């Protein structure tokens, strides 16, 4: 049973509750409350967890038995941070995917060009990354993503296809936008939580302690600790027998239209 199919449970409970309430009126209010809370819990979980596939299917890992994983970085480009990460990736000959924010591109075109020229790929992480992005209507949301597409195309001459929703939140409107824009939604299977991490070794252990074949690791190139940890992360991944593959190759999808 999928998460969306769980919606039938509250409906069944409500159907059973209605006749029962005639005989046991005392359960009338709390019975309705239980049904409502169950429905709301399923909805909130589906929205907040991209891997749930509640509104649409996102690729969150590769179906493989090979000891292979992919690195992804959100929220760039950031001068001084993205540069350091690119230096490390180049040193270790490791490919990665950068889900960039469109508004960060003007003035940082050389960074985007470097990401592309050094063999990494660029994905769409929206133009605005607005706090209320998830509440945008379909038309406004699509325009936001297309504005990001145009920024990338302006700089490297290619239109990104891979899309990672801001905050990893999904909505019905986003489902329509993904379909209209012909995007491939990308999630993750290991969320590093590097944006809130205080200890580099704990962050490293959180990532490497749960790795499985086909995992997609979510990091941020806006975080100094992430850049500092990256060499040790790459070495640990390799010491555990894993190969780091570029996300589009691991998932067998096209990165650009």
Interval 195-233: pLDDT, tens: 999 999 999 999 999 999 999 999 999 999 999 999 999
Confidence of residue 41 (pLDDT cuts 50, 70, 90): confident
Average pLDDT, the chain: 90
Give the residue among 45, 23, 21, 22 at the shortest CA–CA distance from 33. Answer: 21
Q: Rounded distance, CA 228 to CA 119, Å?
A: 22
Separation of alpha carbons 51 and 44, rounded Å: 13
Query: Is 220 annotated as catalytic?
Result: yes
In the chain, what are the domain boundaries? 4-48, 68-251
pLDDT at 54: 86
Considering 129, 149, 220, 221, which one is annotated as catalytic?
A: 220
Active-site choice (74, 134, 144, 149): 74
Phi-psi region of 49 (alpha: psi -120 to 50; beta: other; left: phi over 0): beta
DSSP 219-246: EETT-HHHHHHHHHHHHHHHHTT-EE--
> Among all chains, which residue has been given the structure tokens 């060009």?
113
Please give the CATH topology (third level) of the domain spanning 68-251. Answer: TIM Barrel (3.20.20)
- The pLDDT tens digits of the residues spanning 60-98 come to 999 999 999 999 999 999 999 999 999 999 999 999 999
User: pLDDT value at position 22?
Assistant: 57
Q: Which of 64, 136, 59 is nearest to 99 (CA)?
A: 59
Active site (annotated) includes residue 199 = no
- CA–CA distance from 171 to each of 54, 101, 139, 186, 220 (Å)? 9, 19, 14, 15, 23
In three-state secondary structure terms, 171 is coil
């Amino acid at each position: 049973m999928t998460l969306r199919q769980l919606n039938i449970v509250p409906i069944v409970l409500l159907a059973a509750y209605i006749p029962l309430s005639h005989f046991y009126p005392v359960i009338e209010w709390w019975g309705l409350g239980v049904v409502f809370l169950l429905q709301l819990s399923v909805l909130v979980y589906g929205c907040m967890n991209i891997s749930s596939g509640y509104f649409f299917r996102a690729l969150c890992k590769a179906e493989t038995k090979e000891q292979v994983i992919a690195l992804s970085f959100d929220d760039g480009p950031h001068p001084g941070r993205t540069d350091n990460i690119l230096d490390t990736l180049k040193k270790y000959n490791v490919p990665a995917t950068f889900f960039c924010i469109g508004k960060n591109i003007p003035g940082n075109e050389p960074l985007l060009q470097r990401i592309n020229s050094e063999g990494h790929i660029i994905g769409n992480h929206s133009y605005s990354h607005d706090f209320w992005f998830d509440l945008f209507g379909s038309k406004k949301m699509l325009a936001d993503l297309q504005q990001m597409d145009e920024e990338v195309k302006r700089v490297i001459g290619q239109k990104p296809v891979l899309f990672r929703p801001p905050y990893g939140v999904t909505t019905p409107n986003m489902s329509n936008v993904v379909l209209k824009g012909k995007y491939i939604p990308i999630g993750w299977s290991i969320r590093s939580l590097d944006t809130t991490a205080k200890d580099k070794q704990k962050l490293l252990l959180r990532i490497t302690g749960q790795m499985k074949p086909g995992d997609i690791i979510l990091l941020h190139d806006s975080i100094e600790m992430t850049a500092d940890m990256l060499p040790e992360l790459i070495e640990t991944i390799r010491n555990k027998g894993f190969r780091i593959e570029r996300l589009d190759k691991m998932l067998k999808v096209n990165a650009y239209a």
